[in-house]
Structure 1
Amino acid sequence: MNTHRTARRLVTRAATAAALATALGLGAVPAATATGPSAAAPSVRPAGTDPDGSWHQDGLRLKAADNKKVDAFVLRARRAERAISPGVRAAARISHADLIGFDQRLKSPDSLKRKVATSMQESPGRSVDTSLGMINDAVRFTLQWPADRYSQGVHTAAGLLSAWGNDSTRWANTWNRTAGYKAINSGWRAPRSHQLFEVQFHTPESKAAQLETHKLYEEQRLPGTPRERVRELQDQQNAIFAAVPVPPGAERLTAPARRIPAPDPARRLPVPAHAPAA
């Protein structure tokens, strides 16, 4: 085997792929399994997994069968992300948004398992399938604009995502809140894979506040956190978000109108039973 020829062939393929990405104007889309905590190969046992296949962390537990279902959910999300990311990148570029934290677009397996286990613990009798069906941020993105361009940017980006076939499933606009988190968290369903994904719309100030309060939020949602500590943590988060300026018009932003498929002119309705055929 000619190793030099093989090496040249690999370099040529890589260069061709890069050139194609540049020609499309999207830039190279990093492989979802390349970096970050979500980059662990499926064959690697994640932290918290027991020899019998069950999972535990921070007082939360999943049985082996439930843990296996979450692992399968993670793999489906990773496959679907490959088709979702190019559209989100294009919407960000056209709306002049900064795409923040793109390397973290896949929620880590352990984070998903904590979410599922918490859901099942808080609602005894709730199945793992029901809990997984409630997760809309296994694939997630953050778009950011300065405050003076925020409202127009959100309107443009959300409109593009809708026009490209993504169904709006959730629109949480919290800019008009008097306390707590401020931003827009939107949920979408991809047209082919039907994978749910989240797009957060932020300003630099609201994103900074989210990052600053993240550890407080994580501690607050742990099952063993005392009620007094939960209130204290919430007060700290409220104070941080209270300092975030509200962009002009942000509190009035709403989800794109739901797309209604155009009728197929070639389709003929059946003739009613009581009416004579033409």
Structure 2
Amino acid sequence: MSETTGAWEGEDYSLTPEQNRVITERWKRAEAAREGMDAMMKGIQQETAQSHGSKLEGLEYSLKDVDSFRRKAASAAEDKGFPVEKTAQSIHDLNRYTLTFEPGAYTEGVDRTYERLREAGYEPISEKNTWEDPVYKGVNTSWQHTQSEEKFELQFHTPDSFKAKMENHELYELSRGKELENLSQGDDDLKESYRNAANLLQNERYKNVEIPPGQERIGERLIRDTLDPDVPSEDVELIRRKEAEKRAENLAKAQAKAEAKKQAEQASLGLDGPAQSTSQGLRNHLAAPAAQAPRMRPDVPSIDPVPRQSRSRGPSLT
């Protein structure tokens, strides 16, 4: 992330230098807590994997991107008049995790996870069950340590509901940002029609997702959206095209970010520019077979080389 805490702008939103300082400092506290929380969630997953077949999804995204946090704070301030300082205090999902269980093991797996988190000193501060919602299905919980300000979000999904959620990411982005407002050019009715079209498209991916038995006793049951089957087909097709454009845009951003990270890692190892070519040439030289080695004279007995001991490189870290 950039260390600058001057003014920030992004996605039609902005923060003053002071607002950006507040948001950046809150994000850095979450960054410092990440390693310990990752370790805790890995331990819970390993235990529940044996008993309930759990998987920990998207661990590489367990810390919310700082610019995404900035956008969230800026939009809350501009669109809802919510002070940036309150966003920094109330946010739960800077550190966030997702556990999946197959439908038949889902409810018991969630129960066991609750037990383990309470044993670790955490209590739920938010429990939203949207399995009956047509646009987003799952259980989203937030937790806080009883002896500190540490907070994190934990989502519970089945493999199929997680897949649908990920496939709907661009539609979710369209629905929450200013793009529908810009598309509708100030026409509130048209904006609502576009939002309803996005809901219909999200619902399509949830239609065949099995609802886990017993899930109704987990958390607060919410139905936040309804479907309007009378949305004009041209509005649906427009949102479908915008989703495809957004997906291509996100892919390009991800590729650029990965390339920037790769270049930064090479630079930190002194492998940029001429040094990289020299290092690569040395590796090629060492890896080349000794095809030009002189042959031994026939009258000199050959000696079997001493077998080399393989060097263990340890476990691969993923």
Q: Do these two structures clear the TM 0.5 threshold for a shared fold by scoring above it? A: yes
Residue aligning to 2:64: 107
Alpha-carbon distance, 1:190 to partner? 2.6
- Whichever residue aligns with residue 250 of structure 1, its letter is Q
- Whichever residue aligns with residue 77 of structure 1, its letter is A
CA RMSD of superposed structures (Å): 1.7
Deviating above 3 A after TM superposition, structure 1's stretches of 4 or more consecutive aligned residues are: none
Residue aligning to 1:162: 118
* SS of residue in 1 equivalent to 2:85: helix
- Distance, in Å, in 2 between the alignment partners of 1:251 and 1:223 is 34
Residue aligning to 1:136: 92
Q: Are 1:186 and 2:141 counterparts?
A: yes
- Whichever residue aligns with residue 38 of structure 2, its letter is S
- Distance, in Å, in 2 between the alignment partners of 1:191 and 1:89 is 21
- Whichever residue aligns with residue 69 of structure 2, its letter is L
Larger relative CO (CA 8 A, sep 6+): 1 or 2?
1
| Contact 1:180–1:242 (Cα < 8 Å) also in 2 | no
Higher mean displacement: 197-206 or 161-170: 161-170
In the alignment of these two chains, the number of paired residues is 206
Higher-Rg member (1/2): 2
| Contact 2:76–2:83 (Cα < 8 Å) also in 1 | no
- Whichever residue aligns with residue 92 of structure 2, its letter is N
| Residue deviations 1:143-174 (CA, integer Å, cap 9, x gap) | 11111111111110112102221021110111
What is the TM-score with the length of structure 2 in the denominator?
Answer: 0.61
Q: Are 1:69 and 2:22 counterparts?
A: yes
Q: Are 1:91 and 2:44 counterparts?
A: yes
- Whichever residue aligns with residue 73 of structure 2, its letter is V
Alpha-carbon distance, 1:254 to partner? 3.5
5 Å-filtered alignment, 1:8-47, equals 40=1, 43=3
- 5+ unaligned residues in a row in structure 2: which ranges? 182-190, 221-318
Q: Are 1:116 and 2:63 counterparts?
A: no
Q: Are 1:232 and 2:197 counterparts?
A: yes
- Whichever residue aligns with residue 159 of structure 1, its letter is E
- Whichever residue aligns with residue 82 of structure 1, its letter is E
Residue aligning to 1:195: 150
| Residue deviations 1:16-61 (CA, integer Å, cap 9, x gap) | xxxxxxxxxxxxxxxxxxxxxxxx3x53x5xxx8xxx111111111
- Whichever residue aligns with residue 206 of structure 2, its letter is F
Partner of residue 107 from structure 2, selected from 151, 156, 160: 151
- Distance, in Å, in 2 between the alignment partners of 1:115 and 1:242 is 30
- Distance, in Å, in 2 between the alignment partners of 1:111 and 1:151 is 32
Residue aligning to 1:214: 169
Partner of residue 243 from structure 1, selected from 200, 208, 214: 208
- 5+ unaligned residues in a row in structure 1: which ranges? 1-39, 256-278
- How high is the sequence identity, in percent, across the aligned residues? 29
